[in-house]
């Protein structure tokens, strides 16, 4: 279930945790590969797992009745991912999660992870930290919508996650920023142009 290489890997990522705790948590985890373009969680799925992305990139999007896709979030290596609707509302997913690149993740049943997380103060604290980090990320995003213009939001994304900007097609980034691909293209032109801003 868990080999030498994996253990070393998790130790490096979760520095503050005991080997024992890591082992207990990842013992039940299973590795799963998803080819670029394939679906990880489909609309309507009740995905009851917690996944850790070892490699690759996942995009969640909402499919509007008219066929338009609105990117809701992106996750990549060294991040956890789960069905938001399941974790937060105990509901089937309204979103489709698919791999934008060949992706490898470790999956653990949430029902199995829960008691383990509860049993160790360190793991509980880590879970708490993760929740806080997710909250921080989400609130930062709310702030960016309130305080920044679409152009400033794009510049912020380029500044903070240049790697992601390169790996994700602009049409997906656009809806993530709350604008259309056409508008993003104009913003990019505006920025690139040496003229007045």
Q: Which residues bind DNA (CB under 7 A)?
A: 149-151, 169-171, 178-189
Stretch that binds its own copies, among 8-16, 75-83, 87-95, 181-189 (CB under 8 A): 87-95
Least distance in Å: CB of 148 to its own copies? 9
**185: CB partners within 8 A, 6+ apart:** 170
Residue 96, classed as helix, strand or coil, is strand
Q: Does the protein bind its own copies through residue 119 (CB under 8 A)?
A: no
Contact 54, 77 (CB under 8 A): yes
* CA 113 vs CA 60, 95, 117, 158: distances in Å: 23, 23, 6, 35
CB nearer to DNA: pick between 159 and 196? 196
Query: Residue 72 binds what, of DNA, its own copies, none (CB under 5 to 8 Å, by partner type)?
Result: its own copies
Kindly give the pairing relationship between strand 69-76 and strand 57-63. Answer: antiparallel
> Residues in the site for its own copies, rule: CB under 8 A?
62, 64, 70-72, 84, 87-89, 124, 127-128, 131-132, 134-136, 138-139, 141-143, 145-147, 175-176, 178
């Amino acid at each position: 279930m868990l080999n030498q290489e994996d253990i070393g890997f998790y130790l490096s990522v979760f520095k503050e945790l005991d080997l024992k705790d890591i082992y207990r948590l990842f013992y039940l985890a299973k590795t799963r590969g998803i080819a670029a373009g394939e679906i990880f969680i489909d609309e309507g799925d009740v995905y009851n797992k917690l996944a850790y992305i070892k490699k690759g990139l996942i995009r969640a999007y909402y499919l509007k009745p008219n066929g338009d896709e609105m990117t809701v979030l992106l996750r990549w290596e060294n991040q956890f991912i789960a069905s938001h609707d399941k974790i937060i509302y105990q509901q089937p997913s309204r979103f489709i999660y698919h791999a934008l690149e060949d992706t490898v993740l470790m999956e653990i049943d949430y029902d199995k992870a829960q008691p383990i997380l509860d049993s160790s103060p360190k793991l509980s604290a880590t879970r708490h930290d993760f929740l806080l980090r997710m909250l921080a990320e989400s609130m930062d995003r709310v702030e960016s919508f309130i305080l920044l213009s679409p152009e400033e939001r794009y510049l912020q994304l380029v500044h903070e996650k240049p790697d992601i900007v390169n790996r994700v097609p602009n049409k997906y980034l656009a809806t993530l920023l709350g604008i259309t691909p056409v508008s993003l293209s104009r913003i990019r032109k505006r920025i690139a142009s040496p003229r007045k801003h």
